[in-house]
Amino acid sequence: THGASVFAQECAECHSMKAGKNKKGPSLFGVVGRQGASIADFSYSDALKQAGLSWTPEQLDAYVAHPKKVVAGGKMKYDGLDDAAARADLIAYLASIH
């Protein structure tokens, strides 16, 4: 349940957990294991499209910690989440929604 709280505090303003519901950012429904920049009706940055990421738990952890370092030139306006335990809880929550 802590992961859901982290999502609500850190991500929900820009991302939805509902399939097919994009906001400022793409839906995160089923994001764990998904290829980056793969939702057809969302306008991703060229930087994210070219990054060739697969959203593994490890890649999500690195990205959520430092999005601008992982995808330089990306559109996500988020500075990152320093708390490793909160990131782990968030990723566990994201993995549970599919």
pLDDT in tens, the chain (98 residues): 899 999 999 999 999 999 999 999 999 999 999 999 999 999 999 999 999 999 999 999 999 999 999 999 999 999 999 999 999 999 999 999 99
Assessment of whether the complete model's pTM goes beyond 0.75: yes
Q: Which pLDDT score, from 0 to 100, does residue 50 have?
A: 96
Burial class (CB in 10 A: 0-12, 13-18, 19+), 31: buried
Residue 82 per-residue DSSP state: -
What is d(CA 88, CA 3) in angstroms, rounded to the nearest whole number?
A: 8
What is d(CA 73, CA 94) in angstroms, rounded to the nearest whole number?
A: 24
